[in-house]
Amino acid sequence: MSTHGLTGTDVPTLDDDPFGHRILTDPYDFHARLRDAGPVVRLPRYGVYAMGRYEHVHASLQDWKTFVSSRGAGLTDFKREKPWRPPSLLLEADPPDHTVVRQAMGSVISPRTVRELKPVFRPKAEALADRLVERGAFDAVTDLAEVYPLQVFPDAVGLPQEGRDALLRYGALAFNAFGPHNDLLDAALATAGPVQQWIADSCRRESLAPGGFGARLWEAADRGEISHEQAPLLVRSLLSAGVDTTVYGITNMMYAFASHPEQWERLHRAPSRAKFAFDEALRFESPVQTFFRTTAYDTEVAGVPIPEGSKVLLFLGSANRDPRHWGEAGDRFDIAHRAAGHVAFGMGVHQCVGQPIARLEAELVLSALAERIRGIELDGVPRPKLNNTIKGWASIPVRVTPA
């Protein structure tokens, strides 16, 4: 670590590349150094500021006036550079524009509309769990986490059957695009054309089955809650943020358990803890590791000046393990932890609007498995899946003992 005087105040500086393969694969040592370096750190490699401590990540997420989203939630400053796609009306917007759109999405994804999905989603989780337990050994990613969300979510949105393989590829693209233009983004862009076309086609009213989230967004436009021009972009948000996030959420939850078999035994004895176990897994191994904000004016955090127009990288995954907030237990996966207050879904006005759907999927999968499986263990070496924003695994071979 070195310090450079800027305006008389020393801002700690780290030369690491948080979007390099080494840190994306295993970010936790870097997170500890980031937090220990100070509340605000400069990353000169990208000309940005960074925060890794819970207190300041949490506070910055809440302070949408200072740390705006309308200049992009990635490295690109939309005020200076053209975004790779028309900005999201939700993620990449500030109040008051954001508030209107968020309200429309929040009425479409409400506790009531999600509760209605339970009888549709549950039997599919149970059938999949039955098949996997029968097999005894399976890949928790390719046979489970990448399977279940795609069995339920696209139907809930009302998407066309044909071409749904574009969904995971689009998610990988969208999450890579928050980072720098590195090898990971290049690889995602290489096949992006047809993927983006399928997404655009699927957002049209004619493509969306009646009764689904997609059709309901168009009906919100008919009611005047949003405009008809906004409707397809809101459907696009469902498709951008609704698939990879849940795939990685379930993946990381299974990784946490497979690498902590004693926690599975406790869950098996009390499957109703699935809800809390999912939060603890999100805290311990957060799918969305980082988001950027941009400072709307000169500001100061913990005495460190941050000039207007600075990109600030908020390390959600680091905040979620910060011992200053969670104590020494922050680095341990323990389903008895009180994980409430984690920032894996964000915090403040942008906190994940699809959260009830993600929770429904993860809890149904986990409780179905917890009832049927007494023991789980790794049956091979998990293979990480690298992305500039979302952390997960390409493969997690597991072996299970039926109850």
**For residues 26 and 196, what is the distance between their CA atoms, to the nearest angstrom?**
30
Nearer to ligand OVV, 355 or 401 (CB): 355
Nearer of residues 84 and 175 to ligand OVV, judged by Cβ: 175
Q: How far is the CB of 89 from ligand OVV (least distance, A)?
A: 7
Interatomic CA distance for residues 84 and 181, integer angstroms:
11
Closest CA to 347 of 87, 69, 74: 69
User: Which candidate, 45, 39, 33, 26, places its Cα nearest to that of 1?
Assistant: 33
Question: What is the smallest separation between the CB atom of 191 and ligand OVV, expressed in angstroms?
Answer: 17
Structure tokens at 321: 């393990």
Nearer to ligand OVV, 214 or 397 (CB): 214
Interface contacts to ligand OVV, rule CB under 6 A? 88, 90-91, 174-175, 236-237, 240-241
- Say how many C-beta atoms besides its own lie within 10 A of residue 151's C-beta: 14
User: The tokens 């972009």 sit on which residue?
Assistant: 233
Nearer to ligand OVV, 27 or 287 (CB): 287
Q: How far is the CB of 169 from ligand OVV (least distance, A)?
A: 13
Query: Rounded to an integer, what distance in angstroms lies between the CA atom of residue 224 and that of residue 104?
Result: 10
Q: Using DSSP bridges, classify how beta strands 299-301 and 67-68 pair: parallel, antiparallel or unpaired.
A: unpaired
Q: How far is it, in rounded angstroms, from Cα 328 to Cα 91?
A: 33
Q: How far is the CB of 30 from ligand OVV (least distance, A)?
A: 23
> Rounded to the nearest 5°, which phi and psi values hold at 72?
105, 145
Between 52 and 179, name the residue whose CB sits nearer to ligand OVV: 179
Element (H, E) at 97: helix 97-108
Which lies closer to ligand OVV via its Cβ, residue 14 or residue 203?
Answer: 203
Least distance in Å: CB of 249 to ligand OVV?
13
Instruction: Please say which residue, 167 or 376, places its beta carbon nearer to ligand OVV.
Output: 167
**CB-side exposure of 87: number of CA atoms within 13 Å?**
21
Pair 325, 347: CB distance under 8 Å = no
- Strand 311-315 and strand 290-295: the pairing is antiparallel
Give the shortest CB-310-to-ligand OVV separation in angstroms.
22
Question: Minimum distance from CB of 366 to ligand OVV (Å)?
Answer: 23
